[in-house]
Chains A and B, each alone.
Chain A
Amino acid sequence: MTMQLKEIESLIKDTFPDAIVEIQDLAGDGNHYSATVTSSQFVGKTKIQQHKMVYDSLKGKMGNELHALELKTKEKNGPTS
């Protein structure tokens, strides 16, 4: 079971329309990715909450179809940053 990079990106953007999503395929096997998600929705949230929000946006695929996602989350403060 694997996932395509575009599928991950669109799932995340469905939940975080304002997000900047940078994804890299780490192993070329559709199973190991790294992603940095920057969104204003993270403002005021703990790291655990931020990561859970991203995992929830992946609709149960994290840990299943998607084996490994090295995740970084960043708070976007206002439209300019």
Chain B
Amino acid sequence: MDQQVKDKIENEITNNEVCLFMKGTPEVPECGFSMVVTNILKSLKVNFKGVNVLADQSIREGIKTYSEWPTIPQLYIKKEFVGGCDIIKEMFENGELKKYLQDKNISHKQ
């Protein structure tokens, strides 16, 4: 992965506390898995940036190398990779996601 792509990725996860690399946009997700995660974040009233990997092929492939994770979506909170759809869904269902947000001082619905 070339430096320019890495810089673009790090710029997104540094400037956005909650950053979701997804297919489509939060308003118009273009993949079921991306939609699941955006709906979870919306239901928790979490402000987040959606990075549409379909709009930039270099980020679409680069993020998989960067996170060593083969699929999209990918959720970053305070520069830390939290997981893909399966893990975020599981964390949401067992209450871990809310606790994680609290621990990281991310504003969300109580």
Contact = CB atoms under 8 A, between A and B. Distances in A.
Nearest to B85: A70
Interface string A6-47: 000000000000000000000000000000000000000001
Interface size on B, as a range, is 10 to 19
Given A62-B70, A63-B70, A48 B90 contact: no
B71 interface: yes
Contacts of A60: 70
Nearest to B72: A63
B71 A62 contact: yes
B64 A63 contact: yes
Interface of B: 33, 64, 68-71, 81, 83-87, 90-91
